[in-house]
């Protein structure tokens, strides 16, 4: 089959690499346009573009997916199948183009955690299991008929970053398996609506995009909830609080369940080795932080350079 691959971040690179290693014929790659990044505002390429260029694959970078020139170029590859991994929402004229349709790899066990940030939300919500799903694209986002799923555990010490790396690997394997099944015609689809009905899903959990203002820590909550919030946003987009009237990002912390004896949001420190904030039923002991304008550092190093 002729395949067009669509993706942007590092998560998608593993899947593209796995398809090429499985000797699938990837005829072109569609990714995000180059964007200015860093202090010098120099144009930066997506991880998928960098990898595709190394493999000498044609790269398309449309600003708008309904652009007639882009649609014409896309059609010229005469792809049998399009594969989408961590890309943007496709218009119907794009996902309906190939004869065998368009499939997507999503980083959750659908129908749970539909949306832009499934990995973050699964960790924030304290889930013990998550996984990856492949499905055929339909008009509504992440609602298409499922082809395959695979799962992995979320450990109590896992951050969103750890879970991302696990799902990137199992997702690439699942995608290769899915494409092989579509090529042979030997696959079955499962309707997500039927799954919700038959398994009596009581509550559908969603995974909307996370904005910077959503990342502020609310200390007036149980310690478990705050702990999951911090790991669910680490290393990106990163939970934060305020200290000395500056933003303090928290990359890693430990929880301590005990009667704090001080009000939620207040902190204790020995100015040398520990800095811990009170929640409603315990403390969050900060371990790795970054103060606005400074580098990321361990808390003892941070305390040596600041007066609280």
pLDDT in tens, 262-288: 999 999 999 999 999 999 999 999 999
Domain containing 267 — which CATH number? Answer: 3.10.25.10
Indicate whether 133 and 35 sit together in one domain.
yes
Burial group, residue 187, by CB count within 10 angstroms (0-12, 13-18, 19+):
middle
User: Is 104 found in the same domain as 54?
Assistant: yes
Phi-psi region of 128 (alpha: psi -120 to 50; beta: other; left: phi over 0): alpha
- Domain assignment of residue 11, yes or no: yes
Among the three residues 176, 198, 220, which one is the final residue of a domain in this structure?
198
Q: Does residue 237 sit in the same domain as residue 172?
A: no
What Cα–Cα distance (Å) separates residue 166 from each residue in 51, 134, 224, 227, 305?
20, 16, 23, 21, 36
Provide the domain limits for residue 81.
Answer: 2-198
- pLDDT for position 201: 63
What is the per-residue pLDDT for 241? Answer: 98
- Counting Cβ atoms within 10 Å, is residue 77 exposed (0-12), middle (13-18) or buried (19+)? middle
CATH of the domain at 129: 3.40.50.170
Domain total of the chain: 2
Instruction: Say yes or no: 128 and 220 in one domain.
Output: no
At residue 195, the pLDDT reads 85
DSSP 88: P
According to the model, what pLDDT value does residue 192 have? 92
Query: SS3 for 249-260, per residue?
Result: EEEEEEEEECCC
Alpha carbons 289 and 300: distance in angstroms, whole number: 10
In a domain, residue 205? The reply is no
| Torsion sign across C-alpha atoms 295, 37, 46, 84 | positive
The domain boundary residue, chosen from 198, 223, 248? 198
Q: Which residues contact 93 (CB under 8 A, 6 or more apart)?
A: 66, 71
What is the rounded distance in angstroms from the CA atom of residue 254 to the CA atom of residue 13? 32
Quick check: is 207 in a domain? no
Q: What is the structure's pLDDT at 15?
A: 98
State residue 297 phi and psi, 5-degree precision.
Answer: -155, 165
Q: Are residues 122 and 237 in the same domain?
A: no
Residue 81, CA distances (Å) to 3, 15, 98 in order: 5, 15, 5
Which residues are within 8 A (CB) of 148 and not within 5 positions of it... i.e. 6 or more apart? 133, 134, 174, 177, 178, 181, 187
pLDDT value of residue 56: 98
Residue 34 and residue 94 in one domain: yes
Tens-of-pLDDT digits for all 308 residues of the chain? 999 999 999 999 999 999 999 999 999 999 999 998 777 778 899 999 999 999 999 999 999 999 999 999 999 999 999 999 999 999 999 999 999 999 999 999 999 999 999 999 999 999 999 999 999 998 888 999 999 999 999 999 999 999 999 999 999 999 999 999 999 999 999 999 888 887 666 689 999 999 999 999 999 999 999 999 999 999 999 999 999 999 999 999 999 999 999 999 999 999 999 999 999 999 999 999 999 999 999 999 999 999 88
- Indicate the helix (H) or strand (E) that contains 232: helix 223-232
- In this prediction, residue 308 carries a pLDDT of 87
222 and 178 co-located in one domain: no
**241 lies in the same domain as 184:** no
25 occurs within a structural domain:
yes
- Model pLDDT, residue 80: 98
In a domain, 45, yes or no: yes
- 3-state SS class at 142: coil
Other beta carbons less than 10 A from residue 76's beta carbon: 10
Nearest-angstrom CA–CA distance, 122 and 231: 11
């Amino acid at each position: 089959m002729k395949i067009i691959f669509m993706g942007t971040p590092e998560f998608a690179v593993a899947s593209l690499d796995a398809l090429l290693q499985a000797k699938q014929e990837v005829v072109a790659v569609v990714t995000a346009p180059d964007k200015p990044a860093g202090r010098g505002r120099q144009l930066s390429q997506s991880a998928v573009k960098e990898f595709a260029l190394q493999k000498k694959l044609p790269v398309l970078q449309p600003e708008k997916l309904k652009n007639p020139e882009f649609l014409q170029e896309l059609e010229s590859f005469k792809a049998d199948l399009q594969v989408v991994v961590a890309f943007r929402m496709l218009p119907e004229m794009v996902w309906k183009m190939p004869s065998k349709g368009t499939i997507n790899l999503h980083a959750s066990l659908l129908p749970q955690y539909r949306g832009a940030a499934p990995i973050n939300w699964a960790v924030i919500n304290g889930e013990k299991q998550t996984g990856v799903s492949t499905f055929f694209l339909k008009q509504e986002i992440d609602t298409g008929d499922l082809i395959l799923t695979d799962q992995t555990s979320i450990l109590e010490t896992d951050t969103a970053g750890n879970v991302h790396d696990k799902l990137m690997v199992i997702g690439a394997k699942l995608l290769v398996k899915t494409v092989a099944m579509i090529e042979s015609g030997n696959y079955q689809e499962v309707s997500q609506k039927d799954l919700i009905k038959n398994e009596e899903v009581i509550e559908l959990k969603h995974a909307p995009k996370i904005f910077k203002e959503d990342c502020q820590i609310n200390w007036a909550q149980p310690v478990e909830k705050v702990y999951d919030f911090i790991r669910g946003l680490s290393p990106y987009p990163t939970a934060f609080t305020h200290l000395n009237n500056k933003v303090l990002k928290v990359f890693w912390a430990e929880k301590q369940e005990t009667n704090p004896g001080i009000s939620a949001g207040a902190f204790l420190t020995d100015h040398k080795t520990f800095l811990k904030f009170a929640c409603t039923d315990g403390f969050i002991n900060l371990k790795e932080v970054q103060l606005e304008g400074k580098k990321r550092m361990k808390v003892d190093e941070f305390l040596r350079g600041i007066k609280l």
